[in-house]
Structure 1
Amino acid sequence: MKPKDEEPDMIAHRLTDNEIRIRIAPAHLRWPRADTSMVWRSLHDCVQQLHGFARTIDEDCLQIEQTRELGRDEIERHRTEVGQQALKKLAAFRPFQIAKQAASKEIETLQKRDDLTFQEAQGKQRLMMALDELRGGIAAMERLLLERCKMSERPARRPVYY
């Protein structure tokens, strides 16, 4: 019988910052700078908060996996608990709610205007794309949580983010 730390699915692996950035809303690097407006600041802040949240979950799982006193079943149970708590937090992720509200309000304001300049119309399109990309980032975060916490099934009721 192999020791716990040599079992293939029990090997501790820390996600790199690049792995997190690539998986969660990588398109934000093409967005206008955060100092462009409060709306763009909230969108960028949400992405940064998601990256930090992913790092925290990864560190929590790594700590569990490196606890030598825990058996395989206990490690799996603890990771699942971390994952379930993280999914609940993700479903009510405040930075996303703030960014979504700010972007939606700005989009709605621009849509009501009949006299948009070409630049304003482009800005509206960029905001709509960014909001979609941010929603994709939330979905990517959910997939990362399920994978990192090694949760094979989704919760019975899947949270709705948008």
Structure 2
Amino acid sequence: MTKRMTETEIRIRIVPTHLRWPSADTNSVWRRLHECVHKMHDLARAVDVNCSCIEEKRTLGPNEIERRRTEVVQEARTKLANFGPLDVARRAVAAELNSMQSRSDLTLQDAQTKEKLTKVLKELEAGVAATERLLLERCELRDARRLQYY
């Protein structure tokens, strides 16, 4: 049986920098960015629970457990490949950046916000990859190429 993920591990491994971002209450853009992180956390928790349920079934042999865990991870990887919350966050940031760009009176604070939003998007994209790595480790599927054979 593999080791369960802890809440701390999920928060540390998947976009831990979001704790330093402006509050989700700041505006709708920041709310969408925070929601994206929370959805990644939720996906990791769901995979952890699903794998635990599979592993606890005493009637399954090791090969069947591995096959089912692989299916769970493959489904999660498919969701991550087309991660809707990331698309929503990208659109929100793009709209905010376009709005700032169209203004002629950009302040230093606007320039800093622009830079921060661009950086945060990169952190979210790295978070998707971190989520995938965490799920592969959780289910003891170190070699992602193995997934294509099931």
The residue identity in structure 1 corresponding to 2:142 is S
List alignment gaps of at least 5 residues for structure 2.
Answer: none
**Residue 119 of structure 1 aligns with which residue?**
109
Q: Using the TM superposition, name which of 91-100 and 28-37 deviates more.
A: 91-100
**CA offsets per residue over residues 37-70 of structure 1, 9 Å max, x none?**
1000000011111111100000111111111111
Matched residue, 1:26: 16
Counterpart-to-counterpart distance in 1, 2:93 and 2:128: 16
Cα drift, residue 114 of structure 1: 4.2
Asked which structure has the greater RCO (Cα within 8 Å, sep 6+), the reply is 2
Aligned to 1:153: 143
Between the two proteins, the alignment pairs up a number of residues equal to 147
Secondary structure class of the residue paired with 1:35: coil
1:104 Cα shift? Answer: 2.0
Q: TM-score, normalised by structure 1?
A: 0.84
Query: Structure 1 runs of 4+ off > 4 angstroms?
Result: none
Q: Percent identity between the aligned chains?
A: 52
Normalising by structure 2, we get a TM-score of 0.90
Distance (Å, rounded) in 2 between the aligned partners of 1:144 and 1:110: 36
Contact 2:2–2:140 (CA<8 Å) still a contact in 1? no
Letter in 2 for 1:107: L
* 1:73 correspondence with 2:63: yes
Corresponding letter in the other structure for 2:80:
L
Q: Which has the higher helix share?
A: 2
Q: Answer yes or no: is 1:42 the counterpart of 2:32.
A: yes
Tell me, in whole angstroms, the C-alpha distance in 1 between the residues paired with 2:97 and 2:128. Answer: 20
In 2: Cα distance, 1:140 partner to 1:59 partner? 18
Instruction: Give the superposed CA RMSD.
Output: 1.8
